[in-house]
Chains A and B, each alone.
Chain A
Amino acid sequence: MKDSELQIFVDSLRYYFATNIGGTLDVAPAYHTESNDTPASEFTGIIGVSGDKQGCIYLTATRDMLGQVLLAMGEPEIDPSLFNDVIGEITNTVSGNARKVLGPGFMISVPIVVTGRPEYIHFPRNYDIGVVPFIWNGHKASLVVCLQ
């Protein structure tokens, strides 16, 4: 995966927060890794990628952050039953927006959400993994892009 491809997802993430959530988003420099030691937090929204590219995109965040995101999106109160929903929706939108650049051959699945911090996430060999750490209003989270 080229840096320019990873940047598509960084731009998409920035745009989502600017348009839908607000607050302060600090995106750290993205990096590539070959290890399976990628970030994983309390809630993880995963989108499968098929078509011209294969792999997955995931967004991982804490429950504290998701609660604040819900309030920032206009919810009257923090409803933990919406944590899975909101992280799935953000991951879906950030991934879907990439089609504007990557084209209709970049096909995405509906989101799958994993609750609880996994010890590690195993990726297939020969897949390129890009990690985008970010801090929103003081809450740490990460976007991970894994493409063949």
Chain B
Amino acid sequence: MKMLIVDDSTVMQRKIQRSITLEQVTDFLTASNGMEAVEIFRQELPELVTMDLTMPEMDGVECVKHLVEIKPDVLILVISSLSDKATTIQAMKNGAKGFLTKPFDDEQINTALEELLEEAQSDAS
């Protein structure tokens, strides 16, 4: 399973990649802003995406909308420091399936992604 990590911080991209221990995830792709993410997503069509919200060029809330238009069943986990309810609701309205607040530890990100995958599986069956 391919996973796209969208974050304007290289340090965070690497941290997310190091943290993920899920066997299902075999390939990692990275993007530093929403515009780049849409471009890579169109070419690679990953099943799983982690999405930062505060980014230059195109923010994460807008980017989620574009990715869902391209592939409606994509699983997007928003990972952001913006921990207020309004932002969470807006991202979910646009099609994100989960929300994790920065900072997070390894267990939290793996649990959030596992829950996303389990939910998608139960929806499919």
Cβ-Cβ contact count across A and B, 8 Å cutoff: 65
CA distance A86 to B55 in the complex (A): 15
Contact A96 B11, CB 8 Å, known A19-B103, A19-B105, A110-B55: no
- Which chain A residues (76-126) contact chain B, with CB distance < 8 Å? 82, 85-86, 88-89, 92-97, 99-100, 103-104, 108-110
A29 touches B (CB below 8 Å): no
Taking a contact as CB atoms under 8 Å apart, the answer to whether B104 and A19 are in contact is: yes
Residues of chain A within 8 A (CB-CB) of B15 are 20, 73-74
Residues of chain B within 8 A (CB-CB) of A94 are 81
A15 touches B (CB below 8 Å): yes
Point out the residue from B55, B56, B83 that lies within 8 Å of A96, measured CB to CB.
B83
Interface size class on chain A is 20 to 34
Taking a contact as CB atoms under 8 Å apart, the answer to whether B83 and A100 are in contact is: yes
- Which chain B residues (1-26) contact chain A, with CB distance < 8 Å? 8-12, 14-15, 18
CA distance A91 to B80 in the complex (A): 13
A70 touches B (CB below 8 Å): yes
Instruction: Give the secondary structure class of B's interface.
Output: loop
B84 touches A (CB below 8 Å): yes
Taking a contact as CB atoms under 8 Å apart, the answer to whether A73 and B11 are in contact is: yes
B42 touches A (CB below 8 Å): no
CA distance A57 to B37 in the complex (A): 28
A16 touches B (CB below 8 Å): yes
Taking a contact as CB atoms under 8 Å apart, the answer to whether A103 and B10 are in contact is: no
Taking a contact as CB atoms under 8 Å apart, the answer to whether B56 and A15 are in contact is: no
B82 touches A (CB below 8 Å): yes
Top 7 A-B pairs, shortest CB-CB distance: A96-B81, A104-B86, A93-B81, A20-B103, A19-B103, A89-B9, A100-B83
Q: List 22 A-B contacts (CB under 8 A).
A: A16-B103, A19-B103, A19-B104, A73-B15, A74-B14, A74-B15, A75-B14, A82-B10, A86-B9, A89-B11, A93-B81, A93-B103, A96-B54, A96-B80, A96-B81, A97-B83, A97-B102, A99-B83, A99-B84, A100-B84, A104-B84, A104-B86
A-to-B contact residues, CB < 8 Å = 15-16, 19-20, 70, 73-75, 82, 85-86, 88-89, 92-97, 99-100, 103-104, 108-110
